[in-house]
Structure 1
């Protein structure tokens, strides 16, 4: 019972921390809107993708981008907790490191999912063609994407001692994951460098964005992989990251 209570408490704390940060909530509305309106308008006429409008192509990619940047940023909570002594109190409590990691990871994942839902709302408002019922198919995929990415952020933060170092490492990881995921442009087909295609295959976000396009765009999108392959890769990625995260928290003092 104590493990369950600790898990719930940590989850709720991370969620409340996000909801009370009004600046971050406001930014979560503005950033995806700029991508979907300004970026799509600027590049839509120049980048032609057979069978699908560019804004429709971009929409799942911006959902993935929002999940990525939000999830990775959430790791900063670990540094704050270490700075103010909260993490020390949690680590000396009679609760397993797995539960501590899982509680923070689920709380941060919930916050990232909320921002992903905001992008869905913008897509509906902007008239991007998709079946609203596809949201229910996209939610499990969004959760799988978020779990692994939040875990990366928590792992990095567990070894960092300052916000500056965390910010530098986070940016170093975020940008390659984003640009090599196919969120903004196709990563296969004629004219795409072979090294780019190979690098994208080692990027877990590639499989997440492809899975989102499959369920959101339907027959308008020709997937890179079957949906079950994308989901299987995400599940394996999540399991590995949770394992590493639990180990990283066990080493944290």
Structure 2
């Protein structure tokens, strides 16, 4: 147990140091959601009407609606960024050193996942602080209530990044994979538009969005922000986390690599 905790602390500290030394990564993580919040939301405000649906008790502005989705955007992009660093570490050889440590592989991957999730959550709260400066704020207890939702959503998206990194062998191939994963997952969700709005356009599009695990992660954050609970979103986010985690463990299983080599 002592060795496992030392490894956890070392991996998390390495992730934190990498984040501190890459200030542009922090800025980039905030620029994307802020552009949506301050630029696109202003244009969509008049075009998109929002009805009173749970967890909202009254009409809200479009800027307020998309904040949970933009928090999900931060978690999603950071999860992919973390998986990109794994591909880079594997090419440089440091990943092999990590995975040969005399500890269970699932613990080493979990340590990596916890480190990247902690950084994502810090970025989320920095975004909420900036949003509050522009008058988009929430109930004080809501900022605390979303913490478990952010942790679970971050673990789910980080596990997805781990799973992807186990199948991507070259750094050059990562950009294409990200385009096929990040953008469909983000736009085919309730991050920017309510599901009932999707149903007005296309029932098939609504069903795809409803089946998207990212939708349930966003809704989990949305309900928690208003001190409400969405059991369906919690269930599907948890199941997706377990599924992506199992896929990542299978992808990094050394036995699979030896079988493929044969």
Q: Normalising by the residue count of structure 2, what TM-score does the alignment of the two structures yield?
A: 0.88
Asked if the contact 1:56/1:217 (under 8 Å) is kept, the reply is no
Aligned: 1:22 with 2:18: no
The reply to whether residue 114 of structure 1 matches residue 122 of structure 2 is yes
Matching of residue 32 in structure 1 with residue 33 in structure 2: yes
- Tell me the equivalent position of 1:202: 211
- C-alpha separation between the residues in 2 aligned to 1:193 and 1:59? 24
For 1:218 and 1:109, the matched residues in 2 are separated by: 22
Instruction: Give the match for residue 232 of structure 1.
Output: 235
Deviation string for 1:44-71 (max 9, x for gaps)? 1111112221111111111111111111
Aligned length, in residue pairs: 247
Deviation at 1:218, TM superposition (A): 6.0
TM-score by length of 1: 0.91
C-alpha separation between the residues in 2 aligned to 1:91 and 1:65? Answer: 29
- How far residue 31 of structure 1 moved from its aligned partner, in angstroms, is 2.2
Q: 1:182 aligned to 2:190? A: yes
Of residues 98-107 and 235-244 in structure 1, the stretch that sits farther from structure 2 once superposed is 235-244
1:223 alignment counterpart: none
Per the TM alignment, residue 106 of structure 1 is displaced from its structure 2 partner at its CA by 0.8
Provide closer, same or farther for how the CA distance between residues 129 and 88 of structure 1 changes in structure 2, counting only shifts above 3 A.
Answer: closer
User: Which position in structure 1 is the counterpart of 2:173?
Assistant: 165
Instruction: State whether residues 74 and 150 of structure 1, in contact with CA within 8 Å, keep that contact through their aligned partners in structure 2.
Output: yes
Question: Alpha-carbon deviation of 1:129?
Answer: 4.2
Partners of 2:149 and 2:224 within 8 A in 1: no
- Tell me, what secondary structure is at the counterpart of 1:74? helix
Q: Paired residue for 1:71?
A: 79
RMSD, matched Cα: 1.8
Corresponding position of 2:12? 11
The answer to whether the 8 Å contact 1:105/1:150 transfers is: yes
Q: Secondary structure at the match of 1:133?
A: helix
> How far apart are the structure 2 equivalents of 1:149 and 1:135?
21
Separation in 1 of the partners of 2:111 and 2:191? 29
Aligned to 1:246: 249
Shift of residue 15 of structure 1? 2.0
- Assess if the C-alpha contact under 8 Å between 1:180 and 1:187 holds in 2: no
